[in-house]
Structure formats: structure tokens, C-alpha cells
Structure 1
Amino acid sequence: MQDASLSPGSFELDARLQADTRLLADLGFCRLLLMNDRRWPWTILVPRRAGVVEITDFSPGERARLVEEAARVADALRAVSGAPKTNVATLGNAVRQFHLHVVARREGDPNWPGPVWGFGQREPWNDDEAEAFAARLLKQLS
């Protein structure tokens, strides 16, 4: 159900998402973030709406925009990484703010075919690698 708290003007990124990611861009509906773990090409889409926890909190039109942006990001991740598979998922157990993970996967990557969440130690991006990856991804998205 739509209410005033879902207005774009009151959007704030959850503190944990802020700490665990790097800002890539604001797309039409979502903020695009890069997870600060270089083991996987891993992005997070956060719709710029306040108070949203579940996908059912969006209007049908907003859900359609979310799916279209997720598909664009998945295509761009596959093109940039060469990975044959993308995982698109939302859990929201640790971070209640609605966010959608889009992760490029391939056989032989860390924890294949298991999930990326909670596996091993994070390997943070260094600034140069993150900027280069971000530039390639954003160019593919444009």
C-alpha cells in the first residue's frame, strides 16, 4: 500500500548498506550500489522510497520499474564480468530497508554453487579496482 512515507524526498540509505557498499549511480528508480566485496561482481539496488520493507509495499508500476532496472543491471553485470549466471534476490533479514541483490556468478567462483551471503571473509575492493569496475559497469548501463 502506498503512503506519504514512500515519497522519494524522504529516502535515506540504511546505515549498514551505507557501510558495506560504494555508491555507483542513481538510476531512474533505484540507487545502484557496489557491494564492497571483490570476490563477486555484486550490486545492490535500493529503490529511493522511504519506509519500504517488502516488495508488496510498492505500487504495481513501481514493481515494474524495479524489475526493469534489475534486468538492466543483470545484463550489464554479465557483459562486464563474462559470468553466465546472475542471482537476483532479496532477503531483508539483517537490513529491513528493501534492497535487491544482483550478483554475477560462474562455476568455480567462491562458494559456487552456494550463496554469497555469509561465506568466508570479505575481500574489500581497493579504490582503483572499484573505480575501474564501476566505470565499465556504468558505461555498459548507458
Structure 2
Amino acid sequence: MAHFSLAFELQRDCIELFDWPLCKVLLMNDRQFPWFILVPKIADVTEFVDLTEQEQQTYWQESILLSHKIKAQFMPDKLNIAALGNMVPQLHIHHIARYKTDLAWPAPVWGKCPAVAYSSDEIELIRLKMA
């Protein structure tokens, strides 16, 4: 059986916040957008349909939980949720808090602005807020 490891791009661009039963919860290291990513801790999974039915249910439950936490803590105008995988084939779902005042609104956030990294204090505050 293959061993799970986080895709290089996700390791490079994200901060690992914590682990839930199925997924790693990541924070994109860009303070311009509250941007979280859920990655199931299962090796060689690229599509949602590659998960078992139970894993699919757990993935959706964790996605819904993360969505509620983002809405409660960040109060966005819109919550963007997407699983594209064109650049990073490892299965992952983006959860991005969007505001009508953010730098990319109303366009997608990808590639709009250079990332601005979080400070260690900001990361810890988010970790506490989202726990």
C-alpha cells in the first residue's frame, strides 16, 4: 500500500493547520485571502470518485464543517469552494472566503496578486480560531 504524502505544491504554498479524521486542513500562505484547503490523507487519490463511499461522505462532512467555521470566523460575502486539480492532481478542495472588497473580486483569486505571507502570530491566531 502506498504511503500518503502531501503534494509538493501544497507543501510549498500552504501551512498545515491540523488533521481531521480524513483530511489535512491547510491554510494557503497568503494573508490577502482566508483560503483553506482540505486534502484527504489517502495516497494516490486524484478524483473524488477514487474515494470509497464512506470516505466521500466523510470528505463532504469535513468540507461542510470547514465551511461553517470559515463563515463564522471570517464572515465572507461569498464562500468559494472548488476542486480543480489541473495544476496539482492530488485531490484537494479549496475553501476561500471572498469579499466584495478583496483585491481579486469578482474574479477568481488564482494568479491575481503575488502572495503575501502570514506572520507566525497570524497563523497561530487562525489555528486557534479554526480549531
> Scaled by the length of structure 2, what TM-score is found?
0.95
Query: 1:112 — aligned with what?
Result: 105
Q: Does 1:129 align with 2:122?
A: yes
Are 1:27 and 2:20 matched, yes or no? yes
Which residue does 2:38 correspond to in 1? 45
Alignment partner of 1:115: what SS?
Answer: coil
TM-score (ref. length: structure 1): 0.88
Alpha carbons 1:86, 1:104 under 8 Å: kept:
yes
More helix by share: 1
**In the TM superposition, what is the alpha-carbon distance from 1:126 to its structure 2 partner?**
1.1
Find the aligned partners of 1:120 and 1:106 in 2 and give their Cα distance. 15
1:84 CA displacement: 3.3
Match of 1:99 in 2: 92
Partners of 1:13 and 1:104 in 2: CA distance: 23
Per-residue deviation, 1:53? 0.6
Letter in 2 for 1:50: A
Aligned equivalent of 1:57:
50
* Shift, 1:132, TM fit: 0.9
Give the RMSD, CA atoms, in angstroms: 1.1
| Aligned pairs, number | 131
**Structure 2 unmatched runs, 5+:** none
SS class of match (2:30) = coil
The runs of 5 or more residues in structure 1 that have no matched partner are none
Deviations 1:87-108 (A, max 9, x none): 1101111111111101111211
Q: Structure 1 vs Structure 2: percent identity of aligned residues?
A: 37
